[in-house]
Amino acid sequence: MLNADANTVVDPAARHALIHNERIVDQFTRQAATFEQRHGHTAALDKMLRLAGVTAQDTVLDLGCGPGIVSCAFAEVARHVTGIDLAPAMLERARARQAQRSLTNMTWTCGDVSRLPFADGSFSMVVTRYTFHHFLSPAVVLAEMKRVCRPSGRVVVADVTPDARKLQAYDQFEKLRDPSHAHALSLEGLKALFAEANLPATEMESFPLELNFEDLMSGSFPNPEDVERIWQRLRDDLDKDDIGLAIKRRNGEYVVSFPTTIIAAAKAAAEGKQ
């Protein structure tokens, strides 16, 4: 699926990318069976649909679609939705979710989102949720999203946006918990990425996404030797918030709050291939 063996690739950057993609496939294959139970986040999904402004005329592409949570929600409104993901196990879950909802306006593709297998201007809306922190080069992915979006179409990204002053600690913690984590962008960093891509924001909303940490860990697959380190860091940060997760104890359980932002941007009507 990755079209190459990382051990046979000579170029260091290309080899690093292949190894990272293999890590993503490994992590999300293990998460596939229970992912939608932990990451439905209905209220946050409703915000995304509202900010995207999806209509019955839209053709939508969902990057890193996972088990089809976002794709199916958009398909209930849009004319057609295509979901693309690197992990075949996630796409199996997505097809099952589609069937459960009797949705017939959907297509699934397995592939690398940094090289989208679609022509320029193929979709009226290109969306992605909770994926940018997995990308080695989110600017490249955003450029691809813009390329396959038609003029006057919309590009929508929802992802974690930790405090810029806490990014290093946040990344260190999340790489322990989820080895496929690459690097999170602060709100300022995400906005700058859109500005550099000449995608002016039309809608934006930031909010905390609260999760029970034990439940989150039950669906995470860190290296076994790192599990106690993760819990110790969590406990140590309870009254400090150096990590940026606003960790709390509630009814004897740890609750974390992921700073999250949704940005919807318009591609210029006169813009051609970028």
How confident is the model over 193-250, as pLDDT tens digits?
999 999 999 999 999 999 999 999 999 999 999 999 999 999 999 989 999 999 999 9
User: pLDDT tens across 196-206, in order?
Assistant: 999 999 999 99
Residues of the domain holding 41: 6-162+180-210+260-266
Does 151 fall in a domain? yes
Nearest Cα to Cα of residue 263 among 209, 199, 215: 199
3-state DSSP assignment of residue 236: helix
Does 218 fall in a domain? no
Does 71 fall in a domain? yes
**How far is C-alpha 1 from the chain's CA centre?**
20
pTM (2 d.p.): 0.93
Does 93 fall in a domain? yes
Q: What is the mean pLDDT of residues 240-267?
A: 97
State which amino acid sits at residue 30: R
Q: What is the pLDDT of residue 1?
A: 37
- Token pair 């699934």 is found at 108
Does 95 fall in a domain? yes
Does 232 fall in a domain? no
Does the structure show a pLDDT above 50 at 80?
Answer: yes
Does the structure show a pLDDT above 80 at 251?
Answer: yes
Q: Which of 13-17, 79-83, 106-110, 157-161 has the lowest mean pLDDT?
A: 13-17
Query: Number of folded domains in the chain?
Result: 1
Q: What is the pLDDT of residue 267?
A: 97
**What is the rounded distance in angstroms from the CA atom of residue 206 to the CA atom of residue 106?**
29
Does 253 fall in a domain? no
Q: What is the pLDDT of residue 7?
A: 56
User: pLDDT tens across 140-155, in order?
Assistant: 999 999 999 999 999 9
Does the structure show a pLDDT above 70 at 85?
Answer: yes
Does the structure show a pLDDT above 80 at 257?
Answer: yes
The phi and psi torsions of 241 (rounded to 5 degrees) equal: 60, 40
Q: What is the pLDDT of residue 42?
A: 85
Q: What is the mean pLDDT of residues 173-201?
A: 97
Q: What is the mean pLDDT of residues 167-194?
A: 98
The full length of the chain comes to 274
Q: What is the mean pLDDT of residues 85-90?
A: 97
Does 217 fall in a domain? no
Nearest Cα to Cα of residue 120 among 150, 141, 97, 156: 150
User: CATH number, domain at 36?
Assistant: 3.40.50.150
